[in-house]
Amino acid sequence: MTKAEKARYEQMEEARDMARALRWPEYAEPAPMTADEIKANATLEAKTSWGGANCVCEAWRVISYQGGTVTKIYTDGHMVVSDLTSGSWSRDVGPLYRTREDALRVLRIRKTADYASHLATIDRLIAQGSAP
């Protein structure tokens, strides 16, 4: 394959991937973990700032701002910590999900709705601008 053919092939792959991305997800939004699930799965110990340890479970959270990401955290059902040894706990992180894939699906659905809203606004402005 020549350099030109390779470049054209990569352009076609990128165009295909962008076309696939412009769609609503075909899956339902995963439900967040319940308090009972968190308690039932709390099998790890995380250091506390006062020298003790809390039983925690691994969970995933969605961070929607600035493009969006998902992060792994540990929770006891009330507070979360990002590292089992840091002892630095936080509150109110929002819904937590069982797997990274669940969290990514939630992020995809949120971003799709966000982008669709922006595109609908642009379409409405275009339609207003072209009206007689």
Give per-residue pLDDT as tens, 45-63: 877 766 667 788 889 999 8
Q: Is residue 91's pLDDT more than 80?
A: no
Q: Where are the beta strands (DSSP E) in 1-132?
A: 44-47, 53-63, 69-75, 79-81, 89-91, 96-97
Residue 11 lies in a domain: no
Q: Is residue 2's pLDDT more than 90?
A: yes
Residue 39 lies in a domain: yes
Q: Which two tokens stand for residue 77?
A: 């059902």
Residue 46 lies in a domain: yes
Range of the domain at 37: 31-130
User: Into how many domains does the chain fold?
Assistant: 1
- The pLDDT score that the predictor gives to residue 44 is 79
Q: Which candidate, 125, 34, 17, 30, places its Cα nearest to that of 77?
A: 34
Q: Which two tokens stand for residue 93?
A: 């992180």
Q: Which two tokens stand for residue 103?
A: 């969290």
- The answer to whether the pTM exceeds 0.95 is no
